[in-house]
Every structure is written in structure tokens, then in C-alpha cells.
């Protein structure tokens, strides 16, 4: 059975790696990596393949950057052409990026079954492009592999059949558990940044910010810089800047202001190993990333989500995450309170045990076998 594993952006690579490894060990299953090229440079793509020990993609569609509509259309066209030439028994998509949506819809229209890893997550915020990607992908998927019970409940409320939903846990945790030791042993990432010595010993906050709703509006972006200025008065802040955000800082004339914030260390995108090493040692993380909410929960690091909602509520109810919104004053107050308080005593949610990819492989090989019969 030939299984196409779709990878497009950095979060996909982290989730894909353990699934590919687990499927490769199963008799009668041939996993094929299809890289759409949504993220394509070394820092955003190739370094993740090296760090996560993923083989070179079997095919690279090379779509590159573009608007949501153009990028999605390019991926659909390129993947459709690939399916013209290759027999595929199952398409496996992960997460909620444009590649996830484009390849799932393309496969479904060809009557090729789709399995969605990380199905059922919902922010209930239709202003998020990722929410549209999630809902549409789940609607056309035959196999829905969920990371938590609330995700399965969301799918049932949307009318999906119970026997198509499988609780498997969080595959991102599999990668984190496998590589965190290697990341911590790889050397001090802070020294490589030429960072202030006051960052040593975890006396810093880590910031990530990239979602369109947060960075595309110059007013909103300026507000986040105000929040960073407030937090940096208390503790140093390290900020690996997403290429999209850097472009927006430049276009809005805010880059010089950002670079002038005292005790803010701005870097380029980091490799996976460097980022999780930095994340694991941070005193506090401020983010708009869903994956980072999950990683901080597992690592036991306090996390403030700079959004009005989260599609991962389990990181709040059971983990170390708190949703604080986008108001600069609220962010600063929450950050100072978190820095003054003991680290939250979160716990790993159910089945976030580093074995989720094995459960994914079990479900998919059984499902493929039943289909063949």
C-alpha cells in the first residue's frame, strides 16, 4: 500500500517525522514523502529534515510563497499532476496549513481516501485561515486521528461518524520526547546568538509571533511591540523572527523600533533543535503558535497565548498555557504575574506519551487492510 505523507510547513515536518518512521516499520506499507514547498529555505525546511532525521522528500512540488488563494491553487495543481503519474492508496495530511487543505481536497476529488492527523481541533474563529483549513480538511477525510477527546467531541457535533474517529494522542510530542535530549546536548544556543549573559540560567522570555491576524495590521503589530517593551523591562526577551513577520515589520516601518528595544534579542528562524532547547530553558513563553502551546505544556514552561482563543483548550485546562488576548496592557500584566508566580504544575494530557505515531500506524495499517479486503 502506497501512502503519500504531505509536508508543507515547519509544523508539518515535526508531526510527519514520527508518523513516517512508524509506518516505515509496517509490512506492506510504503510511505512516500511529498513536500509541497510551502516552506522552502534551509531555516524553514531543510534544517528540519536534518534535525528530525527525515529522509529527503520523494517529490518536491516547489510551490513557494504566495497569497493563501494562489498558494493553495498552486499546490492543488501540482499535487493533481503528481497523482496523474503515481498510484496512491491513501493520502495522510497533518495540521492545518494550506498544504493540508490543498492536498486533502485534491485527493478527495479523485476518490483517494484521506487521513487527517490532528483532526477535530477548533478555535471557532472563522477569521483564522487555519480554522477554515481544519474544518474543510476534516469534512473530506475518511480517517480522523485526534490528539485529544475534545477534538473527537467537536467532530461528533459536526456529524462525523464515530467509527471514523480515532483518539491517538499528539504526534508532536513524539518528536519532542525523541529529540529534546539531543537538543539540550547540542550546545548553548544562547551563546551562539551573542546574547546578553543575563539570559543564562533561564532568565528570559521567549517570543514567537507570526499569525496573519497578529502581524499583517501595522496597528496590531505596533501594539505587540509595546507589550514586548513592557516585558523586556522585567526580563530579557528572545525573539526568533518568522520571515513573514520580518517583512511586515519592514513594510510598516516598525523594524527599527523593534531592533531598538532594550534587552530584546532578535534572531532569524531557528532550527528545530535550537528552538526546543531555547524553549525548554525559558522562564516564560509568549506565542501565537498552536504547536508551541503544546510543547510548553509537555516541557512544563509557562505559556501565554497572544490570541483571543485557542484550538487547543486542553493546554489551558491541563497544561501550562493561558490565553491572554492581544491587548498590550493585558499581555504585560499577565507576563509579570507569570514571572512572579511559581511555574504552573501542568500535566501531560491523555496519550501525550510519545507513542502517538505508533497508534497512528496501527489505525492506518488496519484501515488499509480492511479496505483491501
User: Nearest Cα to 176, choosing from 188, 168, 164, 184?
Assistant: 184
Structural contact between residues 170 and 351, judged by C-beta atoms closer than 8 angstroms = yes
To which residue does cell 497569497 refer?
A: 67
Query: What residues act catalytically?
Result: 210
User: Nearest Cα to 270, choosing from 172, 183, 173?
Assistant: 183
* 256 CA to centre of own chain: 29
CA distance 245 to 266: 12
Count other C-beta atoms under 10 Å from residue 314's C-beta: 22
Structural contact between residues 224 and 214, judged by C-beta atoms closer than 8 angstroms = yes
Phi, psi of 242 (to 5 degrees): -65, 140
The stretches of 282-355 forming alpha helices (DSSP H) are: 290-299, 314-317, 328-340
Structural contact between residues 300 and 274, judged by C-beta atoms closer than 8 angstroms = no
DSSP structure class, residue 46:
I
User: Nearest Cα to 200, choosing from 187, 188, 186?
Assistant: 188
Residues 6+ apart with CB under 8 A from 4: 32, 34, 86, 88, 90, 91, 92, 103, 107
To which residue does cell 487492510 refer?
A: 369
CA distance 285 to 282: 7
Note the residue count of the chain.
373
Amino acid at each position: 500500500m502506497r501512502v503519500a505523507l504531505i509536508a508543507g510547513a515547519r509544523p508539518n515536518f515535526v508531526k510527519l517525522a514520527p508518523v513516517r518512521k512508524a509506518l516505515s516499520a509496517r509490512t506492506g506499507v510504503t510511505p512516500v514523502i511529498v513536500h509541497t514547498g510551502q516552506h522552502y529555505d534551509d531555516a524553514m525546511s531543510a534544517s528540519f529534515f536534518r534535525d528530525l532525521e527525515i529522509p529527503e522528500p520523494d517529490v518536491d512540488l516547489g510551490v513557494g510563497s504566495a497569497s493563501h488563494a494562489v498558494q493553495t491553487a498552486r499546490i492543488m495543481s501540482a499535487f493533481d499532476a503528481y497523482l496523474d503519474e503515481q498510484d496512491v492508496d491513501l493520502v495522510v495530511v497533518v495540521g492545518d496549513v494550506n498544504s493540508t487543505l490543498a492536498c486533502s481536497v485534491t485527493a478527495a476529488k479523485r476518490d483517494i481516501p484521506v487521513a487527517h492527523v490532528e483532526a477535530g481541533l477548533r478555535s471557532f474563529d472563522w477569521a483564522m485561515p487555519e480554522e477554515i483549513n481544519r474544518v474543510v480538511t476534516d469534512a473530506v477525510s475518511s480517517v480522523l486521528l485526534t490528539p485529544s477527546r475534545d477534538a473527537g467531541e467537536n467532530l461528533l457535533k459536526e456529524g462525523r461518524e464515530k467509527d471514523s474517529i480515532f483518539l491517538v494522542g499528539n504526534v508532536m510530542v513524539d518528536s519532542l520526547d525523541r529529540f529534546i535530549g539531543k537538543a539540550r546536548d547540542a550546545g548553548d544556543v544562547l551563546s551562539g546568538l551573542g546574547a546578553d549573559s543575563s539570559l543564562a540560567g533561564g532568565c528570559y522570555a521567549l517570543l514567537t509571533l507570526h499569525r496573519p491576524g497578529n502581524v499583517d495590521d501595522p496597528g496590531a503589530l505596533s501594539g505587540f511591540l509595546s507589550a514586548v517593551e513592557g516585558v523586556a523591562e522585567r526580563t530579557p526577551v528572545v525573539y526568533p523572527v518568522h520571515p513573514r513577520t520580518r517583512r511586515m515589520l519592514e513594510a510598516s516601518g516598525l523594524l527599527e523600533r523593534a531592533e531598538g528595544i532594550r534587552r530584546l534579542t532578535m534572531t532569524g528562524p531557528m532550527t528545530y533543535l535550537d528552538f526546543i532547547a531555547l524553549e525548554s530553558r525559558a522562564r516564560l513563553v509568549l506565542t501565537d503558535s498552536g504547536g508551541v502551546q503544546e510543547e510548553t505544556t509537555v516541557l512544563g514552561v509557562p505559556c501565554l497565548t497572544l490570541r483571543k482563543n485557542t484550538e487547543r483548550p486542553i493546554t489551558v485546562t491541563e497544561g501550562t498555557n493561558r490565553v491572554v488576548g492581544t491587548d498590550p496592557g493585558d499581555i504585560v500584566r499577565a507576563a509579570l504575574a507569570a514571572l512572579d508566580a511559581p511555574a504552573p504544575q501542568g500535566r501531560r494530557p491523555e496519550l501525550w506519551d510519545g507513542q502517538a505515531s505508533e497508534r497512528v500506524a496501527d489505525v492506518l495499517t488496519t484501515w488499509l487492510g480492511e479496505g483491501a479486503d
